[in-house]
């Protein structure tokens, strides 16, 4: 299956019956269904944009990296801990505000206007570093050496940001969509606070269905009427299921919560030996957070889902752990065939309901950039290498 095909399939809404709750009120709301469809397509476009952004940031040709979206560059720079909270920075160019860290500081911002020529030459990061150098002459948190030019430091920063953006993680799409979204009104924000897994357009649709009396009651109590509350719950479950499949499909490596779905889909494959035990753990020696198969099965091999610098996806991780005879029983020859088989599999509704009703399992793995944010991102004057501070791992045991 090609990337284009996977993108198209992932943009298609999942069957509404799979959310496991009454969907009658949702099915009667065409605007909400339209918003859900828009949400899935928006995430697909965001993945495509990020893919182009990564290729642009990996290039050393100014004619290529100059096309990298300045908003993405500045967002990832902030997210990775390379932009301090103070001074507050506002970056403008091309008639728009590319970045304004509204929550960083209440002080007036330092405005950085970028000319068309600077944008055309791809000098966004270099000009930002020039501003940061006023308060931090050595640019301590920026990859590179103190004696190097700003252009060289910007190039190393560009490479680092591209490497980070290239490791797909569901939460990065979530955060990026939120960061690039327009400001929403107080009522929509109240819905999002109560239902954090909803998207802003869906929350706006829900608010729009409230009559004046319901709106006053909602503003007073913070509670949606029963119909809208049920619709919000259905939409949240739909979005969670969609994102589980999305991360399983694109995550490198996938989140632990998505791997729980992947394991259950493996059990449905023709030729998968019943009782095969797989345990998912946050770290070696820890208690399983989830498992499939028979608990009394004899100990076997270890399937380790390593730190984020390991770019293998779920299917490659599983494939690498299977013995030749196990692959033969599945009638599969490579990880891509395993991917196709899992993507074609249908999880029984009761199992999907059980998975969706359980709370999400959060990964405890810290990546390189979260370590940088905590002030541990430099070694010997250089930017940290990928995975340098990643210690926790997810592992599983396959017993057969």
DSSP assignment string, 292-311: ES-TTSPP-EEEEE--TT--
For residue range 289-307, list pLDDT tens digits in order.
788 888 765 555 555 655 5
- What's the mean per-residue pLDDT of the chain? 78
* Residue 290, phi then psi, degrees to nearest 5: -170, 160
Is the pLDDT score of 24 beyond 80? no
Cα of first residue to Cα of last residue in the chain, in angstroms, is 29
232 within 8 A of 224, measured Cβ to Cβ:
yes
SS3 119: helix
pLDDT at 179 over 70: no
CA atoms within 13 A on the CB side of 153: 26
Q: What is the DSSP letter of 399?
A: E
- Please report which confidence band the pLDDT of residue 156 belongs to, taking 50, 70 and 90 as the band edges: very high
Q: For 108-131, what is each residue's pLDDT tens digit?
A: 888 899 999 999 999 999 999 999
Q: What's the pLDDT score for residue 201?
A: 82
- What percent of the chain is modeled with pLDDT above 90? 33
pLDDT beyond 80 at 351: yes
Residue 30 confidence (pLDDT): 76
pLDDT band at residue 99, thresholds of 50, 70 and 90? confident
Strand partners for 89: 110
In DSSP terms, 292 is beta-bridged to 278
Radius of gyration in angstroms for the set of CA atoms belonging to the chain, rounded to a whole number: 23
Question: Is residue 390 scored above 90 in pLDDT?
Answer: no
Mean pLDDT of 5-24: 41
| Average pLDDT rounded to a whole number, residues 33-62 | 89
Q: What does the DSSP assignment read for 249-294?
A: HH-SSPPHHHHHHHHHHHTTSTTPPTT-EEEEESSTTSPEEEEES-
- Residue-level pLDDT at 35: 82
């Amino acid at each position: 299956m090609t990337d284009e095909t996977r993108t198209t399939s992932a943009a298609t809404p999942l069957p509404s019956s799979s959310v496991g709750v009454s969907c009658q009120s949702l099915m009667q709301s065409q605007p909400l269904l339209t918003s859900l469809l828009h949400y899935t397509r928006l995430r697909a476009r965001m993945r495509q944009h990020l893919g182009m952004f990564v290729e642009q940031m990996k290039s050393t040709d100014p004619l290529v990296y100059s096309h990298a979206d300045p908003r993405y560059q500045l967002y990832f720079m902030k997210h990775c801990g390379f932009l301090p909270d103070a001074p507050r920075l506002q970056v403008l160019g091309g008639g728009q505000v590319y970045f304004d860290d509204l929550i960083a500081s209440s002080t007036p911002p330092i405005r950085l206007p970028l000319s068309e020529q600077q944008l055309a030459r791809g000098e966004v990061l270099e000009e930002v570093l020039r501003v940061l150098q006023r308060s931090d002459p050595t640019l301590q948190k920026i990859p590179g050496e103190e004696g190097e030019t700003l252009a060289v430091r910007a190039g190393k920063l560009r490479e680092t940001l591209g490497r980070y953006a290239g490791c797909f993680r569901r939460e990065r799409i979530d955060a990026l969509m939120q960061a690039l979204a327009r400001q929403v009104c107080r009522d929509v924000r109240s819905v999002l606070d109560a239902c954090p897994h909803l998207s802003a357009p869906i929350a706006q649709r829900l608010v729009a269905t409230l009559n004046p009396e319901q709106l006053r009651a909602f503003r007073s109590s913070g509670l949606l009427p029963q119909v809208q509350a049920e619709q919000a719950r259905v939409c949240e479950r739909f979005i969670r299921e969609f994102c589980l499949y999305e991360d399983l499909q694109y995550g490198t490596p996938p989140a632990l919560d998505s791997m729980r779905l992947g394991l259950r889909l493996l059990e449905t494959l023709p030729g998968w030996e019943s009782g095969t035990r797989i345990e998912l753990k946050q770290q070696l020696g820890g208690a399983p957070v989830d498992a499939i198969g028979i608990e009394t099965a004899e100990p076997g091999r270890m399937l380790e889902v390593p730190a984020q610098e390991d770019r293998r996806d779920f299917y490659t991780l599983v494939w690498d752990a299977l013995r030749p005879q196990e692959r033969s029983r599945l009638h599969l020859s490579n990880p891509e065939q395993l991917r196709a088989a899992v993507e074609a599999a249908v999880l029984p509704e009761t199992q999907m309901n059980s998975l969706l009703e359980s709370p999400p399992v959060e990964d405890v793995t810290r990546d390189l950039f979260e370590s940088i944010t905590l002030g541990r991102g430099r070694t010997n004057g250089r930017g940290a290498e990928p995975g340098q501070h990643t210690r926790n791992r997810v592992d599983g045991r396959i017993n057969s």
